[in-house]
Amino acid sequence: MAMQDLTLMSAMLKKMDWHEERQKIIAQNIANADSSGYRPMDMKPLDFKQLLGGSTSVLSMSAAGSSGGAISMAATNGAHFGADTMAAGGQKVPDFKQKDVYEVAPAGNAVILEDQLLRMNENYTDHAFVSNLYQKNIAMLKMALK
């Protein structure tokens, strides 16, 4: 039995992949903070309960990776960094949860750096938590096998 055949381990791997892809999107938002007309993007939240919902079914990484179709991001300006790439771990969506403090700059940019930095820190913390939990589960399984 492979580690990916365990539902919880597979769900944690998928969650870590989601956080890695979200970090790329947040980095694109920060890189485009001065690009005119750029709108920040984010990923739809990964529903951990849905990953574990069918606890009798086995989540495999190959099946989980093939379920998502390729979606291209619409670029409002060809000069945007990373506008031609798409995250494989989830679907990018326009960022509607951003604060309405500044709304849109006169140049048409809607990125609020402070908000993006908070998201980056939250994403890092969550990824570190899941990664640590995964490592603890691996250690527990190794101990059970001895």
The parts of the chain modelled with pLDDT lower than 50 are: 55-71, 85-89, 101
Residue span of the structural domain in which 136 resides? 3-145
- Retrieve residue 129's tokens: 């938590």
Convert the pLDDT of each residue in 40-54 to its tens digit: 888 888 876 777 665
Residue 49: CB partners within 8 Å, gap ≥ 6? none
Q: How many helices (H) and strands (E) does the chain have?
A: 4, 2
Question: In total, how many domains does the chain have?
Answer: 1
Beta strands in 41-138 (DSSP E): 41-43, 92-94
